[in-house]
A and B are shown apart, each in its own frame.
Chain A
Amino acid sequence: MLERRTVSNIPWGMVILVIGIAMFGLSSVYSATYSESGISSLFTKQFIWISLGIIVMFAALVPDYHTVGRYAYVLYVLSVFFLILVALVGKTGMGAQRWLPLGPFAFQPSELAKISLVLALARYFAEDPRGGGYELRDLAIPGAMIAVPLLLVLKQPDLGTALMLLFTSSLIILLAGIKFRSIMVLAVAGAVLASAVFLVPPVRHKIWTSLKPYQQKRIKAFLDPSSDPLGSGYHASQAKIAVGSGQTTGKGFRKGTQGQMAFLPERHTDFIFAVIAEERGFLGASFLIVVYVVFLFVGLETAKGAKDRLGVLMAGGIVSMLSLYVCINIGMSVGILPVVGVPLPLISYGGTSVITTFLAIGLLLNIRSRRFMLFY
């Protein structure tokens, strides 16, 4: 439990950094959702989510992270259960089933799946150390652990989250240590699979037709933005105009024409970075990137200072996950990555994403606060 020594070790600098990013995000959601009819209820909701998130973050400090590790599998099974439930009774949005109705709110189990998969993998590799790195056959069980939620999310279908699960898990496996030979085998297998998908017409056709129309559009639009001036090609090019037109110093708070005039879709969720870049300019946008880098490096420090495998893997896994979110979201907003629905941590609008992000950060703080403790 929480001891005085742990409390005194809470990295308050990191807490302030996190809350600072969240407040900056809140102001951006305010700007992105403001309309002539006044403050949007989305802003109010996001404010509530962030407040709840901060409570969750501190709550995640209370139990020793070893206790959290003990419940990692339970959490994992629970999130898989929710994913199955969403497939059966979920609410549909944008052509995919992603939400579970929860009173007046909707809960997105795929967000919970991300953090619980990180924790479950961290525990698995922590308890199964291999001196010289893992062989391929050692990865059978974690592979299955990854595959189950991955396939369920893919079925929704939510390509963005599925990719996030895949990339995050891959980073965790790399951290845990994998034999070089195994990497090579996986790489070759991946290459073969990819070429089968792209080069064998029947397979390609099968996969292409299994995608939802909006996903087909997004892929087409990434390859040829002019093919879809209304859909994601439109999103991407409007986002680029928003970012670029912000120039060095930005157009000013609530002055962004792209965001304010609703040229920019999804401006309070996936494309919030474009609103920020438009209104705060190169200086503001790059400052935000620097702040994120600082935050992620403090996370890495936490992993480095952790006293045992579980701590390192948990912290490393969480940092991997958050870095991927940040990179992919911003990469998409500035037009160097395809448009996949990935939120910007602490900034994008969205209840489940805000809460799970704070939960993840709470666990980082947890590990960091206990870095001087002796176990055994």
Chain B
Amino acid sequence: MRQDSPASIQSRLPLLAIFILLFAVILFFRLWYLQVLKGSYYQELAESNRIRPIKIRPPRGIIYDRNGKPMVENELTFDISIVPEDASYLEESVRRIAPVVKMDQQDIIELIDAARPIRTKYEPIKIKEEASWAEVAVAEARQDDLPGVIVEPEHRRHYPYGGLASHQFGYIGKVTEDQKRKLAAEPGMLIGQSGLEKTFDKFLRGTAGRRMIQVNAAGRKVKDLGIEEPKPGTDLFLTLDLDVQRAAEEALGTRAGAIVALDPNSGEILALASHPAYDPNLFPRGISPADWDRLSNDPSHPLYNRAIQSVYPPGSTFKIVVALAGLNQGLIDPDEKVNCGGSLKSGRRSFRCWKRGGHGAVDFHRALVESCDVYFYTMGDRIGFDQIAQTARSLGLAKITGIDLADEKPGLIPTPAWKLEKTREPWFQGDSFINSIGQGFVLVSPIQAAQMMSVLANGGVFYKPQILKRTRNRETGEERIYPAQEKHRIKLNQDALDQVRSALIGVTTEAGGTAHGAATPLAVVAGKTGTAQVIAQKVPGRKLTESTEDHAWFVAYAPADKPTIAVAVIVEHGGHGGAAAAPIARKVIEEHLKHAGTKNGQ
């Protein structure tokens, strides 16, 4: 036999054939035994399969602030449910449970019928959520009389501070058909539908466990076979500071508006507020249609996250952009004086300064400190809006900031070309005037304004506005830290920056400054007021129901020499920025500085 002939191997193939045949015969006889000989026995077992897996929903991850104070938690509650397959006489069970849960029999039947087509077999149907202790006790004690009725523990989402930061947390709701498929969520599960609850749903959700119970032929629970504990969702530690957030919202009070506070050295968001707010505690029980209608049709839009979704004319805060554009280009000479006589003419139109009598002759510093409109009309016209728009964009305006919350709005920075395309009208000198003081077409969101101040404070670094600081797996204690993400840097002319910064300090400290209300003994605050006229909202054909009072802005950072916080405040129809918005910013800054030495969220 040749050595490389295959014959020797082939001679051993029958071994393999015997192995296969032998095993097939064994399997054949085993099947014969199970299916034919013992078939009816197993058939009986299958029919009376008395083990019921009951899903246990996992508790969602807890959301903490940067210092580990819980902002969103869970509460253990009990639901009374029914498994129709286990109720030998469903009507009888319903008749008996109805008085216990104080419900109408017919209502319970309707609940069951409505749930049937969308459930899997043996999935319990909830008839009473958050049952009282008395109801639970009766339902448990009368197990024998109530075939098919079970008590299910549920971890219900709870927001201890009610509406506080409600837009940031968002809300949870029943998973929709579409989400079931896309997100691999289980039917009936409550998942994040907006805000952080949605963005980080993957972390927060956890994994369901199950409880195996054995029931007898009548569907009564005989014993617990065991429990496979659910895996709780991952806990989130936010960058938000509960104290600063609370100070911000208290300062805003019942007025509509938004506040954004962030750390210019990392982009971490310290407070993010939007008013009016809603109570997210309405949602974990499944919000009632009436409540939902009320929230979604409320003309004050309480579901709207104004901090990132609303864009406003920035008013005089926009003068910072014009100042930087002019200084950078050498088109503004800080020593040059412009005479403000209270108004400036363009063609036949006259554009007024907010100070009726005029500021007299003002240089750059005085003009920014006192927010002289005529000075910025003049400079805006000189610089040209193409140039200003470019600077505005480089400061992050007209672009979303990339925060981990959905539906951020980019706002708008106009250019002559844009206007021509949009309105079929050329750009007039008057457009340069009014847009230079943040009126007209310019639209900015509060978070963009805060980001701009942060960039000014740190000398040109753009960070991703960060709201998640770290996550913690509750079971293993494993932590994951999300470090600051620098997106890019812009080059700012140091001289220009120094000029602007010094004027911003003047705003809160010098005689004639527009925001003495922002001054605090704790630190020097650099800031800028804005008072945005609401005229633009008088859309023809729409009835003017809202107040025409001006929007009040204040943007700032502090301490001026070594900033640790950048803030933007807007109070809708609040009136003058210095009077309405600056004191709010002061409270936020003070609350932050009070703790800055003792805690840093590490």
A contact residues vs B (CB 8 Å cutoff): 35-37, 41, 129, 131, 171, 174-177, 229-230, 234, 240-248, 257-258, 260-263, 277, 281-282, 285-286, 289-290, 292-293, 296-297, 300, 303-304, 306-309, 311-313, 316, 319-320, 323, 327, 330-331, 334-336
Give, as a whole number of angstroms, the nearest-CB distance from A21 to chain B. 15
B9 touches A312 (CB 8 A): yes
Q: Quick one: which of B251-298 are within 8 Å of A by CB? A: none
B30 touches A312 (CB 8 A): no
CA distance A36 to B117 in the complex (A): 8
> Does B334 reach chain A (CB closer than 8 Å)?
no
A304 touches B46 (CB 8 A): no
Task: Map CB proximity to A onto B176-220 as digits: 1 under 8 Å, 0 otherwise.
Answer: 010011000001000000000000000000000010100000000
> Does B100 reach chain A (CB closer than 8 Å)?
no
Q: Is the interface of B mostly helix, strand, loop or mixed?
A: helix
CA distance A236 to B150 in the complex (A): 28
CA distance A316 to B23 in the complex (A): 17
Give, as a whole number of angstroms, the nearest-CB distance from A286 to chain B. 6
Q: Which residues of B contact A296 (CB under 8 A)?
A: 20
Give, as a whole number of angstroms, the nearest-CB distance from A188 to chain B. 21
CA distance A296 to B49 in the complex (A): 37
Choose from B6, B13, B38, B227 the contact partner of A307 (Cβ within 8 Å). B6
Closest 9 CB pairs of A and B: A244-B42, A247-B39, A245-B46, A282-B35, A244-B34, A312-B6, A245-B42, A327-B23, A245-B43
Give, as a whole number of angstroms, the nearest-CB distance from A335 to chain B. 8
A241 touches B49 (CB 8 A): yes
B30 touches A334 (CB 8 A): yes
Given A241-B42, A289-B27, A309-B4, are A300 and B16 neighbors across the interface (CB < 8 Å)? yes
CA distance A240 to B32 in the complex (A): 13
Q: Which residues of A contact B15 (CB under 8 A)?
A: 174-175
Q: Which residues of A contact B121 (CB under 8 A)?
A: 260-262
Given A257-B49, A300-B17, are A308 and B6 neighbors across the interface (CB < 8 Å)? yes
Q: Which residues of A contact B122 (CB under 8 A)?
A: 261
Q: Which residues of B contact A246 (CB under 8 A)?
A: 35, 39
> Does B51 reach chain A (CB closer than 8 Å)?
yes
CA distance A327 to B268 in the complex (A): 58
Task: Map CB proximity to A onto B22-58 as digits: 1 under 8 Å, 0 otherwise.
Answer: 0110111011101110111111011101010100000
Q: Which residues of A contact B42 (CB under 8 A)?
A: 240-241, 243-245, 247
Task: Identify the closest chain B residue to A246 (Cβ).
Answer: B35
A174 touches B12 (CB 8 A): yes
> Does B598 reach chain A (CB closer than 8 Å)?
no
Q: Which residues of B contact A312 (CB under 8 A)?
A: 6, 9-10, 13
CA distance A336 to B31 in the complex (A): 11
Give, as a whole number of angstroms, the nearest-CB distance from A330 to chain B. 5
A-B contacts, 7 of them at CB < 8 A, read A176-B9, A243-B34, A246-B39, A258-B46, A261-B120, A286-B28, A336-B26
Q: Which residues of B contact A281 (CB under 8 A)?
A: 35
Point out which of B26, B38, B42 has the most chain A C-beta atoms below 10 A from its C-beta: B42
Known: A171-B16, A244-B35, A303-B13. 5 other contacts (CB 8 A): A36-B119, A175-B13, A229-B212, A244-B41, A282-B36
CA distance A286 to B35 in the complex (A): 11
A129 touches B4 (CB 8 A): yes
A36 touches B120 (CB 8 A): yes
B31 touches A293 (CB 8 A): no
B31 touches A243 (CB 8 A): yes
Q: Which residues of A contact B13 (CB under 8 A)?
A: 175, 300, 303-304, 312, 316
A285 touches B31 (CB 8 A): yes
Given A37-B187, A247-B35, are A330 and B27 neighbors across the interface (CB < 8 Å)? yes
B31 touches A334 (CB 8 A): yes
Q: Which residues of B contact A129 (CB under 8 A)?
A: 3-4
Give, as a whole number of angstroms, the nearest-CB distance from A14 to chain B. 16
Give, as a whole number of angstroms, the nearest-CB distance from A171 to chain B. 7
Choose from B3, B10, B118 the contact partner of A304 (Cβ within 8 Å). B10
Given A282-B35, A303-B13, are A309 and B6 neighbors across the interface (CB < 8 Å)? yes
